[in-house]
Amino acid sequence: MNSVKNKLFFAVVIFSLVLSNVLKAQSANSSEALSIAKVDNKPVFPGCESIKDEEGRLSCLIQGIQKHVAKNFVYPEEAKKEKIQGKIFVSFVIAEDGTVKDIEVARSAHPLLDQAAIASVASINDLNPRIKPASQQGKPVSVKFTIPIQASLND
């Protein structure tokens, strides 16, 4: 009887592993965000279009995003009162249409600062024109991106 129970247990475990892998494969479709390092053409921030080399455009993209986020970061009043400071790492996806989505805190400094950081990254969607999306084999693709945001109080 124990032998049957053991065989049944292992069959359930194997079935669970197979099902898990099938579900992972189904979720890994073409709309999944790619690493920015693995795409043919990086996203282009508005105003960076005239830069011809990929490395220069990537640098311009990073600078453009960081300037925009810094300009739109609204320091929470409670964080000011409590003198809360820190560095927040925010991850997001630059989608096939140039919008920013799936914004989340990768490394937190404080919940108040985290929410302000998310809001400042979300404001990238207000850009007109939008970020030109990355492309792979001539087709627009979504890419993952992470930036540090330093929240500091000036005395």
Give the C-alpha separation, 56 to 118, whole Å: 26
Same domain, 87 and 142: yes
Q: What pLDDT score does 54 carry?
A: 87
Neighbour count for residue 112 (Cβ, 10 Å)? 17
Q: What is the pTM of this model?
A: 0.77
Question: Domain residues for 15?
Answer: 1-30
Share of the chain above pLDDT 70, in %: 79
How is residue 45 annotated by DSSP? -
Query: Total domain count for the chain?
Result: 2
The pLDDT of residue 2 is above 90:
no
Q: What pLDDT score does 50 carry?
A: 95
Same domain, 1 and 53: no
Let me know: does 131 contact 124? Beta carbons within 8 Å. Answer: yes
Give the C-alpha separation, 33 to 58, whole Å: 17
Write out pLDDT tens, residues 9-19: 444 434 444 43
Ranges 25-34, 57-66, 74-83, 146-155: which has the least confidence: 25-34
Q: What are the angstrom distances between the C-alpha of 86 and each of 81, 94, 118? A: 15, 25, 14
82: domain CATH number? 3.30.2420.10
Same domain, 10 and 85: no
Could you give phi then psi for residue 141, rounded to 5 degrees?
-135, 160
Helix (H, G, I), strand (E, B) or coil at 25: helix
Same domain, 18 and 47: no
